[in-house]
Amino acid sequence: MITDNIGRLELLIGNMSSGKSTFMNDILLRNVIMGKKVQLFQPGSSIRDIDDPSLITRGGYKILREPIADTDDIYRKVKQESEVIGIDELHFYNRGIINAIKYLVDEGKEVLACSLELDFRGNSLIFGDGPEGIYDLLPIADNVQLFNSICTHRDNGSDKVCGNPEARWVQKYYGDDVAPYETPLIELGDIRQSKGTWYAPRCRKHFKFYDKG
Ligand SMILES: [Zn+2]
């Protein structure tokens, strides 16, 4: 398709609970208010809001969150008239997401994409079937923004969190223990302390780095 639009890619990468999706959704809503055609894709398995999983709304404007089963689903669901495309939680996709994003940009779309930057092991995020990962998208991005989170570590018995705003790492826990290095990279868990699998943003002082030998 020949289009007058020159595509654009903006990557919003960083830690969990760092506000990157909220930031993206705000830009998407502003584009809706400006009268642009907007689509928002999100991995179906990751939609976890309780009230209304399908809509982001403000002041009567709304965006439908379209659940995506796999990267092929993006080619099927993108509409020719769409001008701005949001893709949330890139880390749930396989490496085909790179070509899917290139395709959208080549089609003249403005693409905003959110992803974790590091996995729980403290390594650069690799897409499901690797070896490519988030850093293979950086060279084709027009803009990259890095989002840090706030460290929520508490010392034993303390009700105060660390609060360091440079919590760049995400720690995975099984109950009270840091999850072993060899456990699955993608594993759904809570974002609060619980008995099962859970994740939390950690600063350099409180992230337990793995010994990679
Ligand atoms: Zn900390």
Rounded distance from Cα 133 to ligand 1 centre (Å): 27
Cα(60) to centroid(ligand 1), Å:
39
Distance CA 8, CA 1 (A): 16
What CATH number was assigned to the domain covering residues 8-147? Answer: 3.40.50.300
Annotated domain spans of the chain: 8-147, 149-213
Full strand arrangement of the beta sheet holding 169-174: 177-178, 169-174, 197-202
Distance (Å) from CA 79 to ligand 1 centroid: 44
Q: How far is the CA of 205 from the centre of ligand 1 (A)?
A: 6
pLDDT per residue as tens digits for the range 83-111:
999 999 999 999 999 999 999 999 999 99
From ligand 1's centre to the CA of 155, what distance in Å? Answer: 10
What value does the CA radius of gyration of the chain take, rounded to a whole number of Å?
18
- Contacts of residue 51, defined as CB under 8 A and 6 or more positions apart, other chains included, come to none
State the Cα–Cα distance between residues 101 and 93, nearest whole angstrom: 12
Please give the share of the chain, as a percent, with pLDDT higher than 70: 91
